[in-house]
Amino acid sequence: MGKRGQPPALSEAQLEIMNVVWDQGETTVAEVWNVLSAGRSVARNTVQTLMTRLEEKGWLRHRAEGQTFYYRAAHARQATVGRLVQRLVDTAFAGSRSGLMLALLEGRGITADEAQRIREMIDQAEKKS
């Protein structure tokens, strides 16, 4: 475990698997493989190995039903993504949240609806402070 009892950082492939697990709630290796292989070529054994390692590192838990293991996330998506974003802000933008926002806005642009939603989120965040 890393800082404050958190498991080690996730690689891109591990995060991809965790997103499937978070979406499914509880899932098997075969179900994760089906989702991932629909988008790209990936070996089922690779998915199984990655999920075993995710469990060893504290990201997943499982329960057995006969020969089938059902996996679930040991850590919530929102908290995990929050830590990933904070690490990105700290390392890539020297702690500048506005630098991150500028990079996002310049890189992809936003629709009018997205801009309105962002304004509402900023207003809510200011009220909480």
The number of domains in the chain is 2
From CA 107, how far away is CA 124, in angstroms rounded? 25
Q: What percent of the chain has pLDDT over 90?
A: 67
From CA 77, how far away is CA 80, in angstroms rounded? 5
The domain that holds 51 is classified in CATH as: 1.10.10.10
Residue 97 and residue 64 in one domain: no
Closest CA to 71 of 58, 84, 86, 85: 58
What does the block give as tokens for 113? 């609806």
**Residue 2, in any domain of the structure:** no
Residue 53 and residue 101 in one domain: no
pTM over 0.75: yes
Mean pLDDT for the stretch of residues 24-46: 96
Residue 55 and residue 108 in one domain: no
From CA 28, how far away is CA 74, in angstroms rounded? 15
Range of the structural domain that residue 31 is part of: 9-73
pLDDT at site 5: 63
From CA 18, how far away is CA 79, in angstroms rounded? 13
Mean pLDDT for the stretch of residues 14-18: 96
Residue 21 and residue 42 in one domain: yes
How confident is the model over 110-120, as pLDDT tens digits?
A: 888 988 998 99
**Residue 1, in any domain of the structure:** no
